[in-house]
Structure 1
Amino acid sequence: MEPLFTIIISLIASSLVFFTAYLALLNVRTSKNMPPGPPKLPIIGNIHQLKGAVPHRVLRSLARKYGPIMYLQLGQVPTVVISTPRLVQEILKTHDAIFADRPTTIVSEILFYKAQDIGWSPASGSYWRQMRRICTSQLLSAKKVRSFSFIRAEELTHMRRSLESSSGRPTILRDVLVQLVNNVICRATFGDVCKDRSRLIEVIFDITRSLSAFNMASYYPRLQFLNVISGKKAMWLKRQKQLDIILEDILEEHRKNRSSGENDQEDLVDVLLRIKEDADLDHPITNDNVKAIILDMLLGGTGTSSMILEWAMAELMRKPNIMKKVQAEVRAMAKGNTIEEADIQNMHYLKMILKETFRLHGPPLLVPRLCREDCMVDGYDIPLNTRILINAWACGTDPDSWEDPDSFIPERFESGVISYLGSEFELVPFGGGRRICPGISFGVGIIENALANLLFHFDWELPNGLKPHELDLTEAIVISNLPKNPLQVVPITV
């Protein structure tokens, strides 16, 4: 009886879903001069065209057919995809204020305490401007990033010793890199007071994986009740409660340490609590604000930094001549038996390799933006509340901007003209405009130091007689643009 009841309810819900969605699409108002795009199907629009491959590659293929500014109807969600540097400049610079807001999502509402962080809160609000200013001037200033150099040095030593213990044996490099990056970011964010650090990371990524999975209500905002009747929302809220308990324990421990005068080195939570207690702010900071910003720090750098390092090593393993060249530079610049952070500033070829890795393997799609008023871009009308999706990978492989764009050629950056700081729109792994990632120097500092140490202390081989050209660089269809098969290498201590 119960299975039959479940089937009947599912059929009723499915019918209601499609009927409601169909009526919603009939009522969608479009501008007279919308950007071109592929033909739509009733109800689902263009959703079916995003299946089967990694989204940034599908979108680039569609853009090459329909144009660099392209309209897609994703269920009830009107979406404009931007795929060339020239048009990215219009979005991130010319019309930055119009396109600076974020769409409301399940992720931002549940995970980030109703979008009280920096990444998802409305850029039009004074709260966002206040928190952004605090972030750039105190949390992630150049001085503050330098103060964490001892953390980077200690964790790099742990990484080196771990690899030395595996010398001569195949090692899954991703595991080593994820642990390194997580440890650095966690220690800089909340120090060593979290007794359940591994549990915290596990819960965060479990939530983001579940929230990033296909969810019909994401494409049909009027059908959010589906998440309720299916039990998904209850499950997400339960996991978020587990996360909140861990974060609250971290805050309580920091408050105790501050009152007893035991915090010799201020971590980012200490900074936020000091500002919360002492500063005369336009918008007082609550505990939920602090916890949301902690999540920004943890999620903003952990996946991206380890991903870039894995891709950089994969490209170097596939190009032994480039590997030898950069190792020669790193070992010539280092003084003594360790890499000092000051040495890295003169490692120009290393920096070129990282730029090329950002170009080909950085975050492929920037966090969506929302049009806050009717606007015109490249002669096309963009209506209010249209979602804007920037294909950063398409810009990084644009044939009009790059010679031989799909090949890994670090020498293309020898002139040093193009940077990834948001002023050149051919390369925008960290975004641009007022929404540019505020943690660039923090994240890049980890990446540069880690790569320099990997190249200085070890030679590298592929396992089981694998040849460089046989290395599989297929991308996985996951949250981050990771290699489908984790890179396996053999470290040789030198």
Structure 2
Amino acid sequence: MEVAFSSVTLLLSFLVAIFFFFILRLRRKGVDDDAPLPTGPRAYPLIGNLHLVARGVPHQTLAELVREHAKGPLMRLRLGQVDCFVAANREAAQEIAKHQDLNFAYRPKMTFGQFFAYGNRNVALSPYGDYWKQMRKIYAMEMMSPSRVKSFFSIREVEYRTLVRDISVAGASGQAPVNVSSMLISTGSTIVVKCAFGNKGEKLQRQFLSLVKETLSLITSFAVADMFPSIRFMDSLTGLTYRLGRVHQKLDRMFNEIIALHEADVEDEKKDLIDVLLQLRDQGEDITLESIKAEVFLAGSETTSTTIEWAMSEMIRKPETLERAQEEVRRVISGRTKITERDLEKLTYLKMVIKETLRLHPPAPLLLRECKETCLVLGYKVPAGTRVLINGYGLGRDERYWVDALDFRPERFADGSLDYKGNNFEYLPFGSGRRICPGMNFGNASIEVALAHLLNYFDWKLPKGMKAEDVDMREIAGIATLRHSPLFMLATPAVPLP
């Protein structure tokens, strides 16, 4: 009798639980159905709002559209056949990147990622799941750990010492303008590739950097499939699929040769990033050759060198800022010919200069995510599959959060209350949450070393007849916040060169 009674009780409890489960589902469904969608500018048939986004540099255009059309925390855009919601304030960014981070931890599958990231297997592009968790852990514990980043200091220091000597020769002791942009890009790319590949296959490395430039130009091309999934075949008709495939095949052959060199060198000390990944694979981690290639395909990216360019561009327009930064660096270095890691720790004002540069010129201005399940964001419905953008560029220049938002003022970071680690949602140069940039510490370390060398060894001036207001501060569209034109300056040696 007791057994029968227990069975009935268990059955009733189960039925009650099912009943409340469906009631809650219905109630939640009803709330979702009744919740409004965000508003935005008028969308036209077929193209939606593509004509608005395509009229200029995307992150700048989106910031303007938010100011003009956002009626709430989100702005809705229709990009071809794809819905895209843009965070219009820091509260929306916080909701997406923190409070509902798991639901927005996904990435849409983009055309260039299918080719150059081997089916979106790069940690920056791969969908959220077990593979992404594994690779993110490897980044944190192995590839970009503090000790690993520190181990690359000698590479950075040697290459920037070489840069200093090259600038002195090219600038003829302040008599000829130096193309700072091209020299920084070349040095920055060399550093990243040496950290990834070591000293193996130097000829292949040079070919790789050349191919990376071609790759980056293709990445910014318009892919029909990304905006009009139903007519993705158009990318074949326009020749984009062929061009992407051709460059991908070249890169793939080069990766195979470079990896083969690493596998054959059994005496190697296992210090570069390919060695780290190969070691982990041999130790049983689920890492394939495609995974390794996907993680290094952006090794020649220009984000770090571009940030250094912007810092120099901003300082040359503000002599008092440049002088203060130089005074600090030279006081700390104190006439020595070699800059050490301990020196960098003491450069308080230089760190403020870098933070302010990242505010105005974030290396990755648009942070793209995808909504996994339909949800509410501050009272507005976000359907599953919607692409969501956080415009770090727009938030960093928003007058609601920054006094004199467009003015370059490193002193605003003097109290140390703001950092770039994703906790302040009006300041997201590297993103936030699960999708924060895993190479953040590596990039920042390179920026510090570069600026310390440039400020210590040279006095900088604009070319003859040029004024601060003449410096071209325009941007062009790209993955990074790229300058519209190269930065030229006069560099006069101020202390003995290394």
Distance 2:339 2:493 in 1: 15
Mapping of 1:9-48 within 5 angstroms? 33-48=36-51
| Matching residue of 1:250 | 258
The range that moved more, 447-456 or 231-240, is 231-240
Q: State the secondary structure of the residue aligned to 2:482.
A: coil
Task: From 230, 239, 242, give the equivalent of 2:247.
Answer: 239
| Matching residue of 2:329 | 330
| Matching residue of 1:318 | 317
Q: Deviations over 1:232-268 (max 9, x none)?
A: 212211110000011110100000012xx1x135111
* 1:379 partnered with 2:387: no
Whether the aligned pair in 2 keeps the contact of 1:364 and 1:391 (CA below 8 Å) is no
Distance 2:472 2:42 in 1: 34
Distance 2:80 2:238 in 1: 20
Task: From 212, 215, 218, give the equivalent of 1:207.
Answer: 215
Amino acid at match of 1:182: S
Whether the aligned pair in 2 keeps the contact of 1:56 and 1:391 (CA below 8 Å) is yes
Q: CA deviation at 1:120?
A: 1.2
Distance 2:425 2:35 in 1: 29
Task: From 240, 264, 271, give the equivalent of 1:266.
Answer: 271
Whether the aligned pair in 2 keeps the contact of 1:151 and 1:188 (CA below 8 Å) is yes
Q: Deviations over 1:59-84 (max 9, x none)?
A: 11111122241000001010001132
Runs of 4+ residues over 4 Å off in structure 1? none
Mapping of 1:443-458 within 5 angstroms? 443-458=443-458
* 1:295 partnered with 2:294: no
Amino acid at match of 2:282: E
Q: CA deviation at 1:343?
A: 0.8
| Matching residue of 1:101 | 106
| Matching residue of 1:173 | 180
Distance 1:82 1:202 in 2: 36
Amino acid at match of 2:37: M
| Matching residue of 1:155 | 159
Identical aligned residues as a percent: 36
Distance 1:200 1:62 in 2: 38
Mapping of 1:343-354 within 5 angstroms? 343-354=343-354
TM-score (norm 2): 0.89
Amino acid at match of 1:236: L
Mapping of 1:219-230 within 5 angstroms? 219-230=227-238
Whether the aligned pair in 1 keeps the contact of 2:111 and 2:223 (CA below 8 Å) is no
Q: State the secondary structure of the residue aligned to 2:475.
A: coil
Q: Deviations over 1:326-377 (max 9, x none)?
A: 1001111114233212111111110101000000011353341110000110
Distance 1:268 1:51 in 2: 37
Q: CA deviation at 1:211?
A: 3.1
Whether the aligned pair in 2 keeps the contact of 1:92 and 1:99 (CA below 8 Å) is yes
Whether the aligned pair in 1 keeps the contact of 2:161 and 2:453 (CA below 8 Å) is no
Distance 1:272 1:176 in 2: 30
* 1:60 partnered with 2:93: no
The range that moved more, 399-408 or 361-370, is 361-370
Q: State the secondary structure of the residue aligned to 2:492.
A: strand
Whether the aligned pair in 2 keeps the contact of 1:365 and 1:389 (CA below 8 Å) is no
Whether the aligned pair in 2 keeps the contact of 1:74 and 1:219 (CA below 8 Å) is yes
* 1:85 partnered with 2:93: no
Q: State the secondary structure of the residue aligned to 2:349.
A: helix
| Matching residue of 1:416 | 416
Q: State the secondary structure of the residue aligned to 2:476.
A: coil
Whether the aligned pair in 1 keeps the contact of 2:117 and 2:297 (CA below 8 Å) is yes
Q: CA deviation at 1:434?
A: 0.6
Whether the aligned pair in 2 keeps the contact of 1:107 and 1:208 (CA below 8 Å) is no
Task: From 190, 215, 223, give the equivalent of 1:183.
Answer: 190
- Unmatched tracts of structure 1, length 5 or more: 1-29
Select the structure of larger CA radius of gyration.
2
Mapping of 1:454-469 within 5 angstroms? 454-469=454-469
Distance 1:350 1:84 in 2: 29
| Matching residue of 1:485 | 485
Q: CA deviation at 1:54?
A: 1.4
Whether the aligned pair in 1 keeps the contact of 2:367 and 2:391 (CA below 8 Å) is no
Q: State the secondary structure of the residue aligned to 1:186.
A: helix
Q: Deviations over 1:126-158 (max 9, x none)?
A: 111111111110111111111111111110111
Distance 1:424 1:92 in 2: 11
Q: CA deviation at 1:32?
A: 5.7
Distance 2:34 2:183 in 1: 51
Whether the aligned pair in 2 keeps the contact of 1:363 and 1:393 (CA below 8 Å) is no
Distance 1:101 1:39 in 2: 28
| Matching residue of 1:127 | 131
Q: Deviations over 1:86-137 (max 9, x none)?
A: 21111110000000010011011111110112111111x1111111111110
| Matching residue of 1:216 | 224
Amino acid at match of 1:170: P
| Matching residue of 1:136 | 140
* 1:277 partnered with 2:279: no
Q: How many residues align?
A: 456
Q: CA deviation at 1:312?
A: 0.3
Distance 1:230 1:444 in 2: 39
Amino acid at match of 2:319: P
Whether the aligned pair in 2 keeps the contact of 1:372 and 1:384 (CA below 8 Å) is yes
Amino acid at match of 1:99: F
**Against the structure 1 CA distance between its residues 265 and 131, is the aligned structure 2 distance closer, same or farther, given a 3 Å change threshold?**
closer
Q: State the secondary structure of the residue aligned to 1:79.
A: strand
Q: State the secondary structure of the residue aligned to 2:372.
A: coil
Q: Deviations over 1:436-480 (max 9, x none)?
A: 111111110000000011000000111132112221211223443
Whether the aligned pair in 2 keeps the contact of 1:84 and 1:394 (CA below 8 Å) is no
Q: State the secondary structure of the residue aligned to 2:421.
A: coil
